[in-house]
């Protein structure tokens, strides 16, 4: 998804870029927590500074609650990414709501925080999904760097360059820390953070970024 696409998504309330004067981006991760790759990503932010947002699925939280708590304990944001990672646009209203509610309850129960942002799996959304998310108190978060395709393991340089190309103040960048080998993602994000930091960027959670002006 290009930045132009993100801005012109008039039919959707999903936020992929936030209009802000602050030189900040939100770096986000989907499909965790993962006990191998999530801690490696936490190490990057511990070394370089800033915070990220982790969109966790309920089934993974149940498998790895200690990793989920580690994310929270290090000051990062945990967002809702459904329980089973379905395409929500293919489900009826009750099933969509159940996916969001079940994972929200798990995050509160296992980690002790109330999530305030939600990312639909596959960035697949429609009016029903967004209405339910709003009713549950969630901002719906997208991402501008879909061309990075880190889930496909396209190579560190591809992930890095495709993400740098769409990084500007207010960009929300989407990566993955769960479901498979995420070693390329870890190295690409390490290089991305170092590069953007040198350019004067700060790294905020999705919620923090949305609060900037």
**Which residues are marked as active site?**
30, 176
CA distance 199 to 201: 6
CA distance 55 to 83: 11
Place of tokens 């970024």: 209
User: Is 66 strand, coil or helix?
Assistant: helix
> Nearest 5°: phi and psi at 97?
-60, -40
CA distance 2 to 24: 18
CA distance 113 to 107: 6
Place of tokens 């393991």: 153
CA distance 186 to 175: 9
CA distance 148 to 210: 23
């Amino acid at each position: 998804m290009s930045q132009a696409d993100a801005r012109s998504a008039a039919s959707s309330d999903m936020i992929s870029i936030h209009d802000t004067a602050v030189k900040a981006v939100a770096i986000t991760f989907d499909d965790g927590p993962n006990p191998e790759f999530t801690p490696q990503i936490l190490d990057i932010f511990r070394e370089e500074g800033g915070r990220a947002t982790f969109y966790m699925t309920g089934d993974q939280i149940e498998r790895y609650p200690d990793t989920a708590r580690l994310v929270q304990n290090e000051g990062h944001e945990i967002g809702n990414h459904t329980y089973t990672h379905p395409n929500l646009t293919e489900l009826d209203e009750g099933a969509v709501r159940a996916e969001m509610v079940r994972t929200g309850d798990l995050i509160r129960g296992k980690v002790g925080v109330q999530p305030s942002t939600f990312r639909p799996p596959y960035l697949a959304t429609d009016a029903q999904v967004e209405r339910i998310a709003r009713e549950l108190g969630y901002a719906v978060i997208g991402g501008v760097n879909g061309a990075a395709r880190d889930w496909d393991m396209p190579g560190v340089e591809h992930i890095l360059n495709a993400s740098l190309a769409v990084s500007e103040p207010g960009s929300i960048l989407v990566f993955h820390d769960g479901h498979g080998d995420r070693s390329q993602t870890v190295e690409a994000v390490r290089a991305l953070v170092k590069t953007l930091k040198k350019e004067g960027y700060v790294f905020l959670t999705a919620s923090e970024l949305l609060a900037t002006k």
